[in-house]
């Protein structure tokens, strides 16, 4: 090897080490910053929406940031940087960010303090469901209400507390009452922590055939709910039941263990409402370089080795073949592929 090649290689290595170190810098800001005030909670942020007018808006959905672990907070910060730029062309207002729970790693006070920092970094009002990792008492103190509904413009939003999994009969009665209230609006959206189906079938979380999840999906179909958002599984997934879109979005920061090819990647969802139309995009965000080097690269390597034909196990999903039920301006329904 010539001297020039050696020198060039050395420069490349230094640039790479520099880039890895640079990608870590935002953490110093995070450690020393102040969190959002305690009264910046669900009930306060719902009130911020009451004056919104018009039938053209966006909102962002994310879940499972699990604040309190350096890997998670670094990834969440990078996602937030992208979220905060979503309205840069000022074409569509981003009204709020909807969280689907697991705001903390396992619910301690210091992790809720970390969550408040994450929340402060998000420039939009944040409204979040509770997850099974979030302590119930501390959630009251740091995030506020756990089960509530609110209207924003032409849409009705219902936030459910299912950190335990199943919904009780009382919760079903409450839900149906709000689904009825939602019928006055163009759209109904629901946010909850645990998905009412299995986004990844060969997993510990297995609720698809439990009575509550079937009952829930039937009810949503009956009331023509537009979309149901959940987290819990740290992945992205989309399925359709009775014409209702179910999105699992658990890629908000937590270290992801599921292979990338099966939906295990960091992301958030941007939903856009235009009169009677609803569209959405999955915004994939790469981890900070240092985190890629120490974790995400190796996660995929392990799956490659275990699965010599590549990472990931799923080669086909029914959702890819499932048509979506769409409505045209005359309220006629048709199937779209």
3-state secondary structure the chain: CCHHHHHHHHHHHHHHHHHHHHHHCHHHHHHHCCCCCCCCCHHHHHHCCCCCCCCEEEEEEECCCCECCHHHHHHHHHHHHHHCCCCCCCCCCEEEEEECCCCECCCCHHHHHHHHHHHHHCCCCEEECCCCCCCHHHHHHHCCCCCEEEEECCEEEEECCCCCCCCCHHHHHHHHHHHHHHCCCCEEEEECCCCCCCCCCCCCCCCCCCHHHHHHHHHHHHCCCCEEEECCCCCEEEEEECCEEEEEECCCCCCCCCCHHHCCCCEEEEEEEECCEEEEEEEECCCCHHHHHHHHHHHHHHHHHHCCCCCCCCCCCHHHHCCEEEECCCCCEEEEC
> Looking at beta carbons only, is 63 or 182 nearer to Fe ion?
63
Any bridge partners for residue 230, and if so which? 248
Cα–Cα dist 272/227, whole Å? 12
Cα–Cα dist 132/194, whole Å? 8
> Looking at beta carbons only, is 256 or 278 nearer to Fe ion?
256
> Looking at beta carbons only, is 182 or 253 nearer to Fe ion?
253
Half-sphere exposure at residue 198, Cβ-oriented, CA atoms within 13 angstroms: 12
> Looking at beta carbons only, is 58 or 104 nearer to Fe ion?
104
Minimal distance in Å, beta carbon 251 to Fe ion?
10
Minimal distance in Å, beta carbon 231 to Fe ion?
6
> Looking at beta carbons only, is 64 or 198 nearer to Fe ion?
64
- Closest-approach residue to Fe ion (CB): 102
> Looking at beta carbons only, is 102 or 226 nearer to Fe ion?
102
Minimal distance in Å, beta carbon 234 to Fe ion?
6
Count residues binding Fe ion (CB under 5 A).
2
Q: CB count, 10 Å around CB of 317? A: 15
> Looking at beta carbons only, is 117 or 232 nearer to Fe ion?
232
Minimal distance in Å, beta carbon 268 to Fe ion?
15
134 is a site residue for Fe ion (CB under 5 A): no
> Looking at beta carbons only, is 102 or 262 nearer to Fe ion?
102
Minimal distance in Å, beta carbon 236 to Fe ion?
14
Tokens of 105: 């790693």
> Looking at beta carbons only, is 182 or 195 nearer to Fe ion?
195
Binding track over 46-65 against Fe ion, x by CB under 5 A: ------------------x-
Range 94-123, binding Fe ion (CB under 5 A):
102
Minimal distance in Å, beta carbon 115 to Fe ion?
13
Range 149-208, binding Fe ion (CB under 5 A):
none
Minimal distance in Å, beta carbon 41 to Fe ion?
21
Cα–Cα dist 25/319, whole Å? 40
Minimal distance in Å, beta carbon 230 to Fe ion?
11
C-alpha gyration radius of the chain: 21
Minimal distance in Å, beta carbon 252 to Fe ion?
9
Q: Note the residues at the interface with Fe ion (CB under 5 A).
A: 64, 102
């Amino acid at each position: 090897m010539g001297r020039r090649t050696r020198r060039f290689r050395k420069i490349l290595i230094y640039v790479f080490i520099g880039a890895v170190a640079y990608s870590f810098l935002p953490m110093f800001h995070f450690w020393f910053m102040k969190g959002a005030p305690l009264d910046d909670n669900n009930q306060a942020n719902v009130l911020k929406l009451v004056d919104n007018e018009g039938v053209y808006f966006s909102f962002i959905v994310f879940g499972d940031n699990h604040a309190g672990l350096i890997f998670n907070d670094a990834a969440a910060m990078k996602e937030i940087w992208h979220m905060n730029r979503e309205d840069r062309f000022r074409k569509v207002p981003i009204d709020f960010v909807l969280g689907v729970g697991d705001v903390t790693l396992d619910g301690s006070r210091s992790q809720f303090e970390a969550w408040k920092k994450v929340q402060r970094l998000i420039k939009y009002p944040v409204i979040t469901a509770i997850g099974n990792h979030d302590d119930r008492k501390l959630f009251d103190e740091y995030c506020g209400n756990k089960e509530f509904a609110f209207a924003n413009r032409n849409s009705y939003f219902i936030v459910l507390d299912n950190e335990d999994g199943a919904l009780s009969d009382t919760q079903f009665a409450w839900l149906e009452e709000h689904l009825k209230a939602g019928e006055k609006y163009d759209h109904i959206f629901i946010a909850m922590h645990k998905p009412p189906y299995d986004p990844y079938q060969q997993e510990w979380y297995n609720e698809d055939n439990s009575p509550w999840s079937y009952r829930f999906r039937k009810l949503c179909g009956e009331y023509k709910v537009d979309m149901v958002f959940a987290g819990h599984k740290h992945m992205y997934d989309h399925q359709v039941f009775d014409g209702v879109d179910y999105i699992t979005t658990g890629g908000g920061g937590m270290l992801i263990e599921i292979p990338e090819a099966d939906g295990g990647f960091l992301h958030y969802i941007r939903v856009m409402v235009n009169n009677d139309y609803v569209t959405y995009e999955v915004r994939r965000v790469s981890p900070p370089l240092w985190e890629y080097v120490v974790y995400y690269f190796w996660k995929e390597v392990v799956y490659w080795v275990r699965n010599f034909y590549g990472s990931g196990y799923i080669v086909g999903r029914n959702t890819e073949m499932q048509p979506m039920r769409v409505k045209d301006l005359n309220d006629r329904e048709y199937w779209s592929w």
